Structure 1
Amino acid sequence: MARNQVAKYVWLIDTVERRKRITFDELSQQWRLSSLSDGKPLSRRTFFNYRDAIYDMFGITLACDRATYEYYIAHDETEAQSRLSRWLLDSMSINGMLSDSQDVSSRIILENVPSARQHLPVVVQAMKQGLRIKYDYHSYKRVNATHVTLAPYFVKIFKQLWYVIGYDLNDKRVKTYALDRMSDLHITGEKFTMPRDFDPMSFFKDCFGITTSQDEPKDIVLRASSTQAKYLRALPLHPSQREEVHDSYSIFHYRMKLTYDLKEEIMSHGSDIEVIAPPELKAQIVTELKNALSNY
């Protein structure tokens, strides 16, 4: 499908979502002002075709209120479908905006991160077919690559990096692997079935980031400066986050496992975040900070 055609679908969804409710005449007027229209009006037939394509591609329904003849987005997706649709739309919207901004490309600075474009389609295809994958894995902690055979259960993105989580046939347990550290990835003819009681959403339910732990979740209490508290409100560390607001600081409560990613996140904020509880997390942070200070 032509990329310009997908951009039209994304434009329609984005416009309806931003307006909440919009009539066809208003939508057609906005369409004529967009760079996608070539100055031509949006016909009803074209709109209905686009609406059907949007449902087929994204699972999003552009519904019509027969009382007001206004179009709106009907939220009839599951939570997982909604997140995936939102991620796809955000990615495509940004991609379309960047493609339409070549004249100011030198003024748009992007972060250089490892790409998963080569491996992600292969992993997803293996998931759809229920087939194991094999690859060489280049861990940062080992000199030589490790040969891995994996039943891919699900994929997850964290801090712009893609990971696959699945059952490692060599280690006989569920493990996490970064896609950008793979080489010689290929799909085998070996079938697998994901356990019925395995829920991808529950796997990281009590964790921050991509690392997990066999330990039980802990009640975590953090003290954040008033400025840092605003960032935590805008982007919570975890769904369990609760806040107590004070004059010059806030106290945040969580229920999470003590993982490597969580400790790294806390330390990345320096003196703006202080661990109040539990004592073992506080001790771990103190030890890490002392080790870091000894380097200077």
Structure 2
Amino acid sequence: MKKDFYLTRYSLIIKRLERSPATYPELESYLLNSFEFQDAKIVSYSIRTLQRDIKDIANLFNFDIHNKKKGDNRYYIESRPVMEVDEYNQRLIESFQIMNAVNSQPDFAEFVYLENRTPRGIQNFYDLLFAIRNKRIIEFQHFKYKDQSTSSRKVHPMALKESKDRWYLIALDTKDEKLKAFGLDRISDLVVSKAGFKLQQRFDLKEHFKNAFGIMNLEEQPENIIIRSTKEQAEYLKSSPLHHSQKIQRETEKSVYFIYDLYPTYDFIQEILSFGNQVKVMEPKSLINKVKETLEKSIQQYDESSVEEEKS
């Protein structure tokens, strides 16, 4: 059995048992007939390996897998982690599956086309995670896109949050005691201090970001937002919701109406605009006006007078 194949085995075992309980022979047959095992030219899978894999899955993913009796009775997932941890585990499994699939094929570049991405500050990820877990004060230089300036920051790190393929540090700025988000790709000269900190007030970040879309500062109150989508676009929104609060309000012959409980932030407006004429905001009126204002400014850029100004 290949040593670097264990993550693929774990993901396949979980995938099979999520469908229904299975005996060892059923699991063995499922694994050996999978394309992953066939590509790796693996032709055997012992019950001893299965038992070892089950223990490793429990330690790594917090999945409790048991069988009802000794021998070849059915194995099943007895308990699952809380929703947030389960979602993290699923993404971890998916990442490992892709990594193993790509690494196992020397000619993968002919068939798998990855997006070209520039470095996004991930080199500081572990150091930041260490500082968060151990409540260490950190200092760094932060570059601001808006005015192309760099400033020194001293913060109390609290969490790491992902948004649109970018990672952000959520931290309390010691300068003004405000909760802020700092893009990891704009952090440099990071120093993790030996000095610790104790928060003066309790922050429930899970609650803080519950109604958030993106990473913008949440200064407004969440609102019920209703959008109307074409039937075709609705299928994409159903399969990949914009936010966990997304619900279908109603459907007509030509449209689907979705409702959200969200802060009407700049990030959300940009997301809505990205759908073009496939999606329209129906409520609230304040958000409709913001979208219209943004569109009007965009159209103004293409006015003949604006084009002439650029030429001159």
Residue 38 of structure 1, CA deviation? 4.9
- Distance in structure 1 (CA, Å) of the matches to 2:235 and 2:12: 31
Q: CA deviation digits over 1:137-185, x for unaligned, max 9?
A: 1121132312122222111112211112121112311111111111112
Please tell me whether the aligned partners of residues 68 and 75 of structure 2 are also in contact (alpha carbons under 8 angstroms): yes
1:62 to 2:68 alignment: no
In the other structure, the counterpart of 2:164 is 159
In the other structure, the counterpart of 1:127 is 132
Residue 116 of structure 1, CA deviation? 4.0
Equivalent of 2:226 in 212, 221, 228: 221
1:26 to 2:26 alignment: yes
Runs of 4+ in 1 over 4 A off after TM superposition: 35-38
In the other structure, the counterpart of 2:178 is 173
- Distance in structure 1 (CA, Å) of the matches to 2:233 and 2:48: 50
Please tell me whether the aligned partners of residues 213 and 268 of structure 2 are also in contact (alpha carbons under 8 angstroms): yes
Equivalent of 2:247 in 234, 242, 245: 242
- 2:171 aligned partner, one-letter code: G
Structure 1 segment 63-78 matched on structure 2, within 5 A: 63-66=66-69, 69-78=73-82
Equivalent of 2:282 in 265, 276, 281: 276
Please tell me whether the aligned partners of residues 7 and 97 of structure 2 are also in contact (alpha carbons under 8 angstroms): no
- Distance in structure 2 (CA, Å) of the matches to 1:115 and 1:178: 8
1:10 to 2:15 alignment: no
Q: TM-score, normalised by structure 2?
A: 0.86
In the other structure, the counterpart of 1:100 is 104
Count of residue correspondences = 294
1:89 to 2:90 alignment: no
Q: CA deviation digits over 1:63-94, x for unaligned, max 9?
A: 22449822223333122221221221121112
- Distance in structure 2 (CA, Å) of the matches to 1:20 and 1:44: 19
Please tell me whether the aligned partners of residues 276 and 282 of structure 1 are also in contact (alpha carbons under 8 angstroms): yes
- Distance in structure 1 (CA, Å) of the matches to 2:291 and 2:167: 27
252-261 or 189-198, which deviates more: 189-198
Residue 109 of structure 1, CA deviation? 1.0
- Distance in structure 1 (CA, Å) of the matches to 2:76 and 2:157: 37
In the other structure, the counterpart of 1:112 is 116
Equivalent of 1:199 in 180, 188, 204: 204
Greater gyration radius: 2
5+ unaligned residues in a row in structure 2: which ranges? 303-312
1:231 to 2:236 alignment: yes
Q: TM-score, normalised by structure 1?
A: 0.90
Say if 1:170 and 1:20 are closer, same or farther in 2 by CA, change over 3 A. Answer: farther
- Distance in structure 2 (CA, Å) of the matches to 1:124 and 1:116: 13
- Distance in structure 2 (CA, Å) of the matches to 1:86 and 1:47: 20
Residue 199 of structure 1, CA deviation? 2.0
In the other structure, the counterpart of 1:50 is 53
1:41 to 2:44 alignment: yes
Residue 12 of structure 1, CA deviation? 3.0
- Distance in structure 1 (CA, Å) of the matches to 2:121 and 2:65: 32
- Distance in structure 2 (CA, Å) of the matches to 1:282 and 1:116: 36
- Distance in structure 2 (CA, Å) of the matches to 1:31 and 1:37: 11
Residue 3 of structure 1, CA deviation? 4.4
Please tell me whether the aligned partners of residues 121 and 186 of structure 2 are also in contact (alpha carbons under 8 angstroms): no
Please tell me whether the aligned partners of residues 180 and 217 of structure 2 are also in contact (alpha carbons under 8 angstroms): no
Residue 8 of structure 1, CA deviation? 3.6
Please tell me whether the aligned partners of residues 213 and 258 of structure 1 are also in contact (alpha carbons under 8 angstroms): no
Say if 1:41 and 1:52 are closer, same or farther in 2 by CA, change over 3 A. Answer: same
Equivalent of 2:268 in 249, 262, 266: 262
| Coordinate RMSD, CA, aligned | 2.3
